[in-house]
Structure 1
């Protein structure tokens, strides 16, 4: 994104307009807006970068996948979530997921039940076991 990251509110507003998307997240280790102190490298600890002195923000990205139309670019959204705002962000994201599931239809399982009953009456499954 050339213009930078969206605010959390703008991110959710644009995310609601997208039908299908992929969400990825990662720890934001390089941030030009704040001076985070990097942990010192220790010869005893091979995973020294997993123990930062301050909690790091999270970079959240959403894309609508590969565009089927060659002329249309894929939509890319990103936002930075600070550690103290993380719980509220995920609560709001869960609300967006639930809202998207409201339009889903329940599966019709009546055909499946009818087929099983017909097999039992014809002696298909149970009849083979007796023989």
Structure 2
């Protein structure tokens, strides 16, 4: 994976994270904080966009979604801190670091043959 591909994938991870967390947050506000129905509709549409963004990544479905999981962990902790005002504790930070290490291994580690497990 060259530098341009890495930058593009990070940007797509970020956009998808904003769509998933932002859309989910709007639905949350609609249902939990009794905001107007149209807030929930907008949230649903943003969540739909989240379903589209991963298709723009240049990898396999399973690898993309596994890596997105780690990215969303980090982004959710940051969202809680920056938007909701809930400062992450040590365990949030440790968990986010572990998740991002998982992303780096799953998505960005160079592969040659593809198969990890053998039938021996």
User: Which is helix-richer, 1 or 2?
Assistant: 2
User: Which is strand-richer, 1 or 2?
Assistant: 1
TM-score, normalised to structure 2, is 0.28
The higher radius of gyration belongs to: 1
TM-score, normalised to structure 1, is 0.26
